[in-house]
Structure 1
Amino acid sequence: MFKRIALVFSLMMVSLLACAQDGETWEAGKHYTLIQPAIRTANPDKIEVAEFFWYGCGHCYTFEPVIGQWKKTIADDVAFRAIPAQWGGAMELHAKAFYTAEALGVAETMHPVIFQAMNVDRKRLGSEEEIAELFVANGVAEEDFLKAYSSFGVSSQARQANSTARGAKVSGTPSVMVNGKYMISARTAGSNANMLKVADYLVEKERAAAGS
């Protein structure tokens, strides 16, 4: 039994070190920051990786296909969660649009559509009416949209997302949070792609800690 535990721990450490860049371990305070106090995750049984984003953010738009490919590689013990950032104004409307799409089961369709509308088609989506038109143009009944958009559930999710972002002290998008304990930005990691490398490193760090 002891040998088996030692072997598992050794494999964890090898995997952890493999996530280092050019042999250098990613460092707290340099490549990522600690969130204190830590934030409660949606599913405590899994290691959560959360992305804070805004549909109107050009960097988030270009990051979307990158993180989309990365999500296909995560292990079963990892959960991904997208969290819309809000700093007032239209961002609050866009956060509700995100949760409305989830509530209606059309997130896979509408998530890229909203990104496209704001970053390519240059639509501001600055009102509920504009957002409704976009949903209707993509096959959602207007009545269904309006009911979901104004629902208590969607409003509550948007408020909770804002509370989470404030607790994590998110100051820009895209940003990545690992297990409610670590915050990664493109500035600290060096690039959007490096954010995911640091995230992988921290996932292994959390996995090793749980294993020990």
Structure 2
Amino acid sequence: MRNLILGAALAISSLFGITAHAEPVAGQQYVELKSPVPVSKPGKVEVVELFWYGCPHCYQFEATLNPWVEKLPDDVNFVRVPALFGGIWNVHGQAFITLEMMKVEHKVHDAVFNAIHQEKKKLASAEEFADFVATQGVDRDAFLKTFNSFAVKGQMEKAKKLAMAYQITGVPVMIVGGKYRFDLGSAGGPQQTLEVADHLIAKERAAL
């Protein structure tokens, strides 16, 4: 598994006095990518979160992230992208893309996270995932048909290419404007991560 090792990074952040009021610094709280990645909606500030349903840090981050996302202004486009490192990561990622394509992801996203982390369900195959989302009101047969579609497989390839372009090695990771990469470890914690995001959104907005 390639979850980020957060403990040491958080401790170091605390020791060196990174506060909520300190302005984020390139090379410390975030990294500026050498080769910017095109955004999906030009003219808007794009914020990407790369995640995995099986990642405990991603699950814990949800409680801080979701209220923030709900309050984002109209000129900010928030996008979730599944990290695809093979095996069960790919199953979960393909399922997420399937739910998005079916336009039901927003209805079952939290339930999927809870099933894995609270109910200890693995959802390690398309059939297991289909059985679970069926309990949430999603048509099982339609899910499986979409899961195996060329459209979903195309989006899988796109997600893999994005992760490579962003140069990620673990999750959760955030990208602003296709230019700035940061995570809970570099930022200093969940709330600090969103403060870094706010700073970079303002920075990117001024550059548009």
TM bucket, shorter chain: 0.7 to 0.9
Identify the residue that residue 13 of structure 2 maps to in structure 1. Answer: none
Partner of 2:164: 166
Partners in 2 of 1:117 and 1:24 — Cα distance? 37
Aligned residues: 191
Q: What's the CA shift for 1:192?
A: 1.6
1:134 and 2:123 matched:
no
TM-score (normalised: structure 1):
0.86
Aligned-partner Cα distance in 2 for 1:24–1:62: 24
- Quick check: 1:120 aligned with 2:118? yes
Instruction: Tell me the SS of whatever aligns to 2:81.
Output: strand
SS of residue matched to 2:171: coil
Matched residue, 2:83? 85
1:54 Cα deviation after fit: 0.5
* Structure 2 residue identity aligned to 1:80: F
Give the CA RMSD over aligned residues.
1.4
How far residue 141 of structure 1 moved from its aligned partner, in angstroms, is 2.1
Deviations 1:49-108 (A, max 9, x none): 010111001111111121110012211111100011111111111111111111212112
TM-score (structure 2 length as normaliser): 0.87
Give the Cα–Cα distance (whole angstroms) in 2 for the partners of residues 109 and 23 of structure 1: 35
Amino acid at match of 1:108: H
CA deviations on 1:157-199 (whole Å, 9 max, x unpaired) are 1221111011101112111100100001111101121111001
Gaps of 5+ in 2: 1-17
Which residue in 1 is equivalent to 2:47? Answer: 49
Distance 2:153 2:108 in 1: 18
- Give the corresponding residue for 1:200: 198
Partner Cα distance (2:123, 2:68) in 1: 28
Query: How many percent of aligned residue pairs carry the same amino acid?
Result: 37
Give the AA of the match of 1:157.
Q
Query: Are the structure 2 counterparts of residues 204 and 89 from structure 1 closer, same or farther at C-alpha, using a change threshold of 3 Å?
Result: same
Give, in whole Å, the separation in 2 of the partners of 1:149 and 1:98: 9
Indicate whether 1:111 and 2:113 are aligned: no
* 1:155-194 matched pairs, under 5 angstroms: 155-194=153-192
Secondary structure of the residue that 2:181 maps to in structure 1?
A: strand
Provide the rounded CA distance (Å) in 2 between the counterparts of 1:129 and 1:22.
44
Is the partner of 1:52 in helix, strand or coil?
Answer: strand
Q: Which runs of 5+ in 1 are unaligned?
A: 1-19
The whole-number CA distance in structure 2 between the counterparts of 1:23 and 1:119 is 33
Partners of 2:117 and 2:93 lie apart in 1 by 16
Q: Does 1:98 align with 2:100?
A: no
